[in-house]
Structure 1
Amino acid sequence: MPSGGTVLSIDLSSSAIAATVSRHGLKIPILIDGRLVMPPGAAIGPAGEIYLGLDATAAMSLPADHRFVGNPADLLGRPTNSVDAAQPDPVDLLATVLRHVTHHAAVHTNGPITALTVTVPSSWGPRRCGHVNEAATRAGFPPPALVTAPAALAAYATMLGGTVPAGSCVLVCQADREPATLTVLQTATDGYRELATRQISLDQGLDHLIAQRVVAMATIDADPLQAAMTAARSDETGDRRILLESVRAARSLLASQDQAAILLPAPRPPAVITRHDVTAAAQPLLDQIPGAVNGLLDAADVDTTHLAGVVLRPALGVPVLAEALTAAAGKTPTLIDHPHALADGALCLTTTHQSGPAAAAQLPRVRLRISDLTGALLLGACSLVLLLQAVFTAYISTYSTWVVGVRTSLPQLGAAGALVMLAAFAVAHLAPTTWLAGTTTASTPEPTTGSLIRRGYLTTAVGGTITAALYGLATGTAVEYDYTPYLTWTLGAALPLAACAALIAATAPRIPADALPTWLAMTRPAITHAITATAGIYLMRAALTLTTPISTNTIAAIAGSIGAALLGIATALTISRSRTIRAITAPGLAIGYALVFTVDTTGALIVGYLAALTWWAIRLTAHTLRLAFPQPGTALRRLTKPSSD
């Protein structure tokens, strides 16, 4: 891809055409004629004029002198003598489609399209791929980067968080178009390598099977509609076409409801179809899944233990297909039904290896909002509340006018230091994602994303450490006593987070562009967890300072136990991002902390939360290193290589 260029990805392998633009590492879905996806059908007038974006329903209202092509891509690769002489050249027709989609993409992005990526079916070979290249040339573009549909789906699954170790295999099932296709891919350094592919063909399409079942249930044996449904499949006229379109619409409705109506040709009353009816009609397809999967794995010379994952592009209204695939492959498939999934996945494959470190790309300017600052302000307020409470509730022993001893919660001061560092993390998160609107000149260029990340997290490491040190010094000054223990705790809790911030500043600018949005989402500190922990620590300290021992005051004991429970919940939520682990550990820690809460255990409970915060920072740093250096063997060489930022 040209540096700073705009890449358009067009999906020609699905039941509808979808397009996505990659611009400076950002993916932008394109509306075509105001629609998220464009039906692939085209109408050809008597004078050769071409109308795009028609589906089968719209085709029924075309004038008699117009020809309808369900999908121009299906005409590619056919022998010349098999194409009707009255029909335009299939390559010209596809070039018209590419020009149409590219025009909308250029208008949407307010700039020219510099490169194309096209997703094609896995069954296409050099002949049809060559026709795509020729169509792009006729449309005024260089030959596009071609990505097969299974590879695009596998790449999109990794964008959703799936992990596929190097050399492992992925089973991909694309069932949204007929015939359904099964493919085994193996990961490679430049993407995926196809090991084997297999199609599951039916004598009649799924819509035909459903329509036959509906007609058999809703009509009498002598009804001519039954004879029309058993006629040759190529006869798609009259009542049969109307019925099939009604079946397709009903399948769409069944994705969100239990039953749907099917309009039968007049004068017959409508019929009602349920998910059970679709499952029964799809049984011929489901019966072939186990044999097809086994045969495919044998052809690829792998077994189910080699599969790192299964990806399914489901057939509309057939949820049991996922269950059949799970039983055959031994793994629960990742369902992908987003209309732009293949276009986005193809971009992930073609731009990751060509565009270099995307952290050097510039993000669009947005205006800073009050809500963007709320998180950092709340964390700073939590830190300040814990600091002030520890100072104001300190028990100071004096001799004459000299302070001879001070008792306060040193772990609480450590929590204040850790939270001020967390507030600095929140500020650093704003740097690469929010930039004040202003005038950019040649002498003062807009900083790149990588530069903003580096500056933001270096500022976090230095500024947070200085603030934590000031907390310790301020505590010693306030109580007029040796500041050494207070400085030890505030800095001791903040320095591990500062070290993580410094390491992130050094490595994050090398994160690829397509991974930046997900990484930026992970770096946002969990404000709710920190507020919960602050409330818990505050209640525990308040309960201990109300009375000594605490058992003499029932209200204080209850408040302290509630605070301990809140701290336990915050600790559990901070340790892991897994919902399952959180659901198990949060109640357990809450009950356990509440039961063991005493004046002697308060410090240990707070230290447990500080350990959880440190683990959060370590986990974020480790994830950053994995993204920046996907091949650990080259990490040292890349660290010593000068950055292009």
Structure 2
Amino acid sequence: MRSGEARLAIDWGSASTSAVLAWPDGTWSPLTFGAESALSSAVFLSEDGGVITGQPAWQAAAGCPERFIPAPRRSIEQREALPGGEVDAVDLVAATLRQVAEQAGAVAGGEIEDVRLVVPAGWGPRRRTWLRHAAHRAGLPQPRLVEAPVAVATRMLASGVHLPVGSYVVVCDVGGGAEVSVLRRGPAGFEVLATLSDASAGGSAVDDALIGALIGGEPNAPIPDGTASNGTQWVLLASVRAAKHALGEHPAVTVPLPDGPAVVVNGTVLEQAARPVAQRVAQLAVEAVAAAEVDAAEVSGLYVVGGMAGMPAVAEALAECVGVTPVVLADPAMAAVCGAADAGAASVGAGVEMAESPVPPVPPVRRAVAIAVPGFASLALVAQFLLTAQWNGWYVHRWALLNWGELAMAAVFALVAALGAGTVIASALAARPGQAPMSAGGQVGTGILASMSLGVAVAGLYAVVGSVYIGQEVGSFLRWALMPIAPVVVVAAVMAVIAARQWRQPVGGWSQVLAFPTGSVVCAAAGMALIQYSLTADRWPDLVLWIDAAGRVGGLLLGIGVVMAVVSTPLLRLILAAPLGVISAAIVSQAASGILGVIYATAVAVWWTRQVWARVIRPARQPVQHTVTTTVAACRGGG
């Protein structure tokens, strides 16, 4: 391999150390240590003066706990008092960095000249010099120090996140401890405006709380005397950390206790242990934004990285206290080290491996329902439209009397269903094997364009099938299928451009923007189906009253569907539904069926236009500012 051209980035954390090798063409790979993707930062000082690192250090701790140091970063610039004398903390860190350097040299096939070390933004010159000495003692060349939040922001740019010059971002790094930084992107790069840290607001505090819950029956209960002296503390801590990571994939895990029976730990216990830590992280974020003298409404994004980033309690606390929806980056534990290595920063060629771009999440079950309901409604209406045609004339001069409004609504529902699947299509595009990855905005924009094209194609297909089935010219079918959806198509094209250019990121994500209200679809589809039934059913004398009543109910439901699409406030819906429903019911007739379909198509276009304006182009700021004002006081008061 090209060892002389490789870049080695190392993130030496309080709990674990991760590293990445990158090359000028954009290819990169994380370093692995045995079966682990990260090397434990813990060390063990053997009796002969040697330093054991990584997982073997944890194994040795059970036999001689007084020689074990689980987090050397907490004692930097000091000398550790161990049996047989004192040891310089630089030597402990150098041992870990030396193992990383040896593994990197084995992978790269030689020595590496370009080394970057990730450091907290709050470290001053003395600590940074101390870390350089440790790297020199480990045999590494003079390293370049990269501040962790700057590395994370660099990683976001490389992944396609749009951060325009002048924008403000908040980076919450929650690992063994917590560091929250506010950055501004300037013409020459990112500038750290404020940074706050707390070593007790991270995974280590959660571990202590879990140990207290297992031994004492409640979080943060004191550990019995003598536990540390016999090595039980470190065995238990290793078990708790393994259980904490396993709970990310399993609802409950069993934790073996050294001096007692095994205990089952579930997500509720973990959430209780993590909640105070998450609240402290949120408080740090609020204080950092205030220290940077930045209004929360001006923050372009709040990004969470580190080993605890995936815990729901952290995201919930940040959203509540800061008033900005947090975004957890893909592979949050590697975000800083990948940014420091400039992983993926190169011109993309064929067959070049690139850093993974954040993929828009596949919508949940309710989003699938929101896609399926208008889809089935569209098929039902077009089927009724074709099968209930009223034929007039004789043989050669036969012609069909059709409900053009029903065809228009079928086309509208087809487009609504397709656009609802826009983020699903975007996720599918991101998962294409062997294809160069797109940015997150490019994925969403392409997904919206693809879904819009699919909806238009289905509407056109309805027109062609209807023309062939009925045996009339296709012109009328195309007009009623395509013209009612034209305004929505224009709005969808605007959304696709905004998403691709990443000019705006809607609150709640694009999935929420594309989700049309299901209640409106159900009411309008049922209403039009009842109207068509009343217009085409055989009017037997004993059924005339019921058939007419079905038509009036259909008009009422269609009017309610229009109100549900145009108005979002529940009170206004109640006020407007009655008069508009009565008017729609009163004008139900063969001549007015087309008008009713066009009215609903117009309502759908109004809904999409309002979505783009209110959620994307001009999102409301007042509620966010109010939330910040009220919750900041609560967070500070509960400190």
Q: TM-score, normalized by length of structure 1?
A: 0.55
Contact 2:174 2:308 in 1 (8 A): yes
> Which residue of the other structure, out of 379, 385, 402, is the alignment partner of 1:408?
402
Contact 1:547 1:553 in 2 (8 A): no
For residues 571 and 520 of structure 1, the distance between their equivalents in structure 2, rounded to whole angstroms, comes to 24
Contact 2:7 2:341 in 1 (8 A): no
Q: What does residue 41 of structure 2 align with?
A: 40
For residues 326 and 505 of structure 1, the distance between their equivalents in structure 2, rounded to whole angstroms, comes to 27
What do residues 544-589 of structure 1 show as CA deviations (whole Å, max 9, x unaligned)? 43256999454895699589869977996x999xxxx799999999
Contact 1:418 1:610 in 2 (8 A): yes
Contact 1:77 1:128 in 2 (8 A): yes
- The one-letter amino acid paired with 1:124 is W
Q: What does residue 392 of structure 1 align with?
A: 387
Q: What does residue 121 of structure 2 align with?
A: 122
Consecutive unaligned residues of structure 1, counting only runs of 5 or more, are: 107-112, 230-235, 365-374, 441-445, 627-645
Q: From the superposition, tell whether residues 615 and 295 of structure 1 become closer, same or farther in structure 2 (CA, over 3 Å).
A: closer
- The one-letter amino acid paired with 2:176 is R
For residues 315 and 452 of structure 1, the distance between their equivalents in structure 2, rounded to whole angstroms, comes to 27
Q: What does residue 370 of structure 1 align with?
A: none
- The one-letter amino acid paired with 2:192 is E
Contact 1:17 1:38 in 2 (8 A): yes
> Which residue of the other structure, out of 601, 626, 638, is the alignment partner of 1:610?
601
Q: What does residue 344 of structure 1 align with?
A: 335
For residues 413 and 314 of structure 1, the distance between their equivalents in structure 2, rounded to whole angstroms, comes to 53
- SS of structure 1 residue aligned to 2:393: strand
Q: What does residue 54 of structure 1 align with?
A: 55
For residues 240 and 436 of structure 1, the distance between their equivalents in structure 2, rounded to whole angstroms, comes to 45
C-alpha displacement at 1:177, in angstroms?
3.2
Q: What does residue 637 of structure 2 align with?
A: none
For residues 40 and 141 of structure 2, the distance between their equivalents in structure 1, rounded to whole angstroms, comes to 23
Contact 1:429 1:523 in 2 (8 A): no
For residues 456 and 324 of structure 2, the distance between their equivalents in structure 1, rounded to whole angstroms, comes to 46
C-alpha displacement at 1:114, in angstroms?
13
Q: What does residue 146 of structure 1 align with?
A: 146
Contact 2:309 2:328 in 1 (8 A): no
What do residues 290-309 of structure 1 show as CA deviations (whole Å, max 9, x unaligned)? 7x889766754457676677
> Which residue of the other structure, out of 182, 195, 198, is the alignment partner of 1:197?
195
Q: What does residue 96 of structure 1 align with?
A: 99
- Written as runs of structure 1 = structure 2, the 5 A alignment for 1:132-531 is 135=135, 146-149=146-149, 152=152, 167=166, 176-178=175-177, 180-188=178-186, 192-200=190-198, 237-238=229-230, 241=233, 245=237, 252=244, 299-301=291-293, 331-332=322-323, 340-344=331-335, 347=338, 354-355=345-346, 386-398=381-393, 402-403=397-398, 406-418=400-412, 433=428, 468=459, 471-472=462-463, 475=466, 479=470, 484-496=475-487
Q: From the superposition, tell whether residues 414 and 225 of structure 1 become closer, same or farther in structure 2 (CA, over 3 Å).
A: closer
C-alpha displacement at 1:535, in angstroms?
6.1
Q: What does residue 638 of structure 1 align with?
A: none
For residues 287 and 254 of structure 1, the distance between their equivalents in structure 2, rounded to whole angstroms, comes to 22
Q: What does residue 545 of structure 1 align with?
A: 536
For residues 482 and 492 of structure 1, the distance between their equivalents in structure 2, rounded to whole angstroms, comes to 17
Q: From the superposition, tell whether residues 502 and 141 of structure 1 become closer, same or farther in structure 2 (CA, over 3 Å).
A: farther
Contact 1:575 1:613 in 2 (8 A): yes
C-alpha displacement at 1:341, in angstroms?
1.8
Q: From the superposition, tell whether residues 608 and 474 of structure 1 become closer, same or farther in structure 2 (CA, over 3 Å).
A: same
Q: What does residue 15 of structure 1 align with?
A: 15
Contact 1:98 1:136 in 2 (8 A): no
For residues 436 and 257 of structure 1, the distance between their equivalents in structure 2, rounded to whole angstroms, comes to 27
Contact 2:167 2:300 in 1 (8 A): yes
For residues 49 and 295 of structure 1, the distance between their equivalents in structure 2, rounded to whole angstroms, comes to 43
C-alpha displacement at 1:390, in angstroms?
1.9
Contact 1:29 1:340 in 2 (8 A): no
C-alpha displacement at 1:287, in angstroms?
9.9
- The one-letter amino acid paired with 1:491 is L
Q: Higher relative CO (CA 8 A, sep ≥ 6), structure 1 or 2? A: 2
Contact 1:169 1:186 in 2 (8 A): yes
Q: From the superposition, tell whether residues 47 and 609 of structure 1 become closer, same or farther in structure 2 (CA, over 3 Å).
A: farther
Q: From the superposition, tell whether residues 467 and 358 of structure 1 become closer, same or farther in structure 2 (CA, over 3 Å).
A: farther
Comparing 144-153 and 308-317, the one that deviates more? 308-317
- The one-letter amino acid paired with 1:341 is P
What do residues 360-405 of structure 1 show as CA deviations (whole Å, max 9, x unaligned)? 98999xxxxxxxxxx99999987665444323322344389535x7
- The one-letter amino acid paired with 1:70 is P
For residues 529 and 486 of structure 2, the distance between their equivalents in structure 1, rounded to whole angstroms, comes to 23
For residues 51 and 313 of structure 2, the distance between their equivalents in structure 1, rounded to whole angstroms, comes to 40
For residues 332 and 437 of structure 1, the distance between their equivalents in structure 2, rounded to whole angstroms, comes to 35
Q: What does residue 361 of structure 2 align with?
A: none
- The one-letter amino acid paired with 1:493 is P
Q: From the superposition, tell whether residues 540 and 356 of structure 1 become closer, same or farther in structure 2 (CA, over 3 Å).
A: farther
For residues 452 and 540 of structure 1, the distance between their equivalents in structure 2, rounded to whole angstroms, comes to 41
For residues 50 and 192 of structure 1, the distance between their equivalents in structure 2, rounded to whole angstroms, comes to 38
For residues 523 and 596 of structure 2, the distance between their equivalents in structure 1, rounded to whole angstroms, comes to 11
Contact 2:151 2:338 in 1 (8 A): no
Q: From the superposition, tell whether residues 491 and 127 of structure 1 become closer, same or farther in structure 2 (CA, over 3 Å).
A: same
- SS of structure 1 residue aligned to 2:54: strand
C-alpha displacement at 1:354, in angstroms?
4.1
- The one-letter amino acid paired with 1:394 is A
Q: From the superposition, tell whether residues 183 and 410 of structure 1 become closer, same or farther in structure 2 (CA, over 3 Å).
A: same
- Give the alignment's Cα RMSD to 1 decimal: 7.7
- The one-letter amino acid paired with 1:121 is P
For residues 499 and 319 of structure 1, the distance between their equivalents in structure 2, rounded to whole angstroms, comes to 38
For residues 63 and 299 of structure 1, the distance between their equivalents in structure 2, rounded to whole angstroms, comes to 45
Contact 1:43 1:51 in 2 (8 A): yes
- SS of structure 2 residue aligned to 1:84: strand
C-alpha displacement at 1:492, in angstroms?
0.6
Contact 2:495 2:612 in 1 (8 A): yes
Contact 1:133 1:144 in 2 (8 A): no
Contact 1:117 1:147 in 2 (8 A): no
Q: From the superposition, tell whether residues 63 and 244 of structure 1 become closer, same or farther in structure 2 (CA, over 3 Å).
A: closer
Q: From the superposition, tell whether residues 436 and 587 of structure 1 become closer, same or farther in structure 2 (CA, over 3 Å).
A: same
For residues 79 and 145 of structure 1, the distance between their equivalents in structure 2, rounded to whole angstroms, comes to 24
Contact 1:119 1:146 in 2 (8 A): yes
For residues 20 and 615 of structure 1, the distance between their equivalents in structure 2, rounded to whole angstroms, comes to 50
Consecutive unaligned residues of structure 2, counting only runs of 5 or more, are: 357-369, 618-639
Contact 2:51 2:95 in 1 (8 A): no
Contact 1:134 1:143 in 2 (8 A): no
C-alpha displacement at 1:475, in angstroms?
4.2
- SS of structure 2 residue aligned to 1:122: coil
What do residues 475-494 of structure 1 show as CA deviations (whole Å, max 9, x unaligned)? 45655656544332222135
Q: What does residue 640 of structure 1 align with?
A: none
| Alignment pair present for 1:84 and 2:78 | no
- SS of structure 2 residue aligned to 1:146: strand
Contact 1:133 1:143 in 2 (8 A): no
Contact 1:569 1:589 in 2 (8 A): no
